[in-house]
Amino acid sequence: MKGHVTGALRWWDFLGATVRAPLEGEAALVKFRAAFAASLGLDPSRVTLFGSGRAALHALVAGLELPAGAEVLLPGYTCVVVPNVFLHLGLPVRYVDIASGRWNPDAEAIAEAITPRTALVVLPHNFGLCLDGIERLRARFPGVVFVEDAAHAWGSRDAAGRMAGTRAQAAFFSFEYSKPLTTGIGGALVLNDVPLRARMATRMPVLRAPSRGQVLRQVLTLAWHRLGQAAPGAVVRGLTALLRLPARALGVVARTPDSEISGEARPDYTVGLRPWSAALGLAQVQRAGAVWAARQRQARAYDALLAGAPGWVLPAHGEGEVLLRYPVRIDDPARRAAVMRGLEALDIVPGVWFDDVVHPAGSLRYGYDAGACPQGEAAARAVLNLPLGLHADLSERQRQGLRALAFAPGPAA
């Protein structure tokens, strides 16, 4: 089954982490931090590890101690955990629509949305596609804190060769199951601005290690996801149907709870990483070049395979960008539904990130008014993701089947 999770993870990473973590202890965290920083071309002093990307963002915003009445701008195409940080901190937000035919807002739209009340702006690199114009925004609005949402963008470079996560005053990364590298659940905060690092030095939260039970759930969930990338689709679907209810009843699945998505519950933003998780992440960072090259090669293969497909809008990506998923738009709902069914029959998971302006559909949508971001809403209705990663190379049958779906006449694709 070709899917969207554990895209940089090998089976032997589990064994390596299990052996190394007890021997190295806290040193595993130091090594992972240094290696992750080096992969971005940064000194480790700029990087702090967290138990999730949302915790990294929360630590930054809480530490900034923004004044009363301060406002935050968010992209009109994002994940619920991002606006929920500002919900939990009591900060008002507004959304900036994405550009037509694109997956990020453009810098000019962001500039036009900034007012004297704007204190912080989250700049997305959705799917690993770099948002342009960050340096111009910083120069034009020196009193605003710009924060890159690099959760999808580990390894991506813009047209000038600048690495995502290194261009704004700060950035946060996610190491969740479906991200470019995974520790199960995890994340990092990057502070690029020297005055900001000094300001945050005494304001970082004291992190606690996750419990052994939490880590065990992450290990089991990682192993399940990794198995799903290797097993035939029929086997995965059968095991899923058999194990879903007992797994959830026993609490062995690590996932964002529905109560957090709905805004009814607040996550623990003070959880850090255990050495096992860091050792697992280190193994993936050490082969960063191979991971990034595989994703770039696969994206180019999709470009060639799907070029000219009627009704399909392919992502415009640069040579230096490393996509997390390959996002396409199919605006005809009937055709999109038929393509999704066809992909499942080919054992290719038809991803639907983001299926709402505030993903997932049915989330709280904190601060969002329906219709405020028409381009984001249209993209959410039309998006379809194709898998990328070390385990996502399509077979010849799958390539030919995908091409047949893309070029089939009419909605009955």
**Tokens in use for 171?**
């950035």
How do 187-191 and 170-174 pair as beta strands? antiparallel
Domains defined for the chain, CATH in brackets: 1-287 (3.40.640.10), 288-407 (3.90.1150.10)
pLDDT at 244: 60
What are the φ/ψ torsions at residue 352 (nearest 5 degrees)? -130, 35
Over residues 245-297, the pLDDT tens digits come to 555 644 555 667 788 898 888 999 999 999 999 999 999 999 999 999 999 99
Which pLDDT value is given to residue 49? 98
In three-state secondary structure terms, 358 is strand
Question: In terms of Cα–Cα distance, which of 166, 159, 224 is closest to 47?
Answer: 166
The DSSP bridge partners found for residue 148 are 123, 171
Spans of the chain, pLDDT less than 50: 249-250, 412-413
**Contact between 322 and 125 (Cβ < 8 Å):** no
Q: Which amino acid is at 201?
A: A
CA atoms 96, 101, 103, 106: torsion sign: negative
Nearest to 125 by CA among 141, 92, 102, 101: 102
Burial, 253: exposed, middle or buried (Cβ in 10 Å; 0-12, 13-18, 19+)?
Answer: middle
**pLDDT score recorded for residue 31:** 98
Say what the pLDDT of residue 253 is.
58
The pLDDT value given to residue 412: 44
Of 29, 43, 37, residue with least CA distance to 279: 29
Q: Is 318 strand, coil or helix? A: coil
Measured over the CA atoms of residue 17, residue 323, residue 121 and residue 369, the dihedral's sign is negative
Determine whether 45 is exposed, middle or buried from the number of CB atoms within 10 Å of its CB (0-12, 13-18, 19+): exposed
State both tokens at 60: 């930054």
Q: Which of 323, 318, 189, 178 is nearest to 256 (CA)?
A: 178
Locus of tokens 């261009």: 167
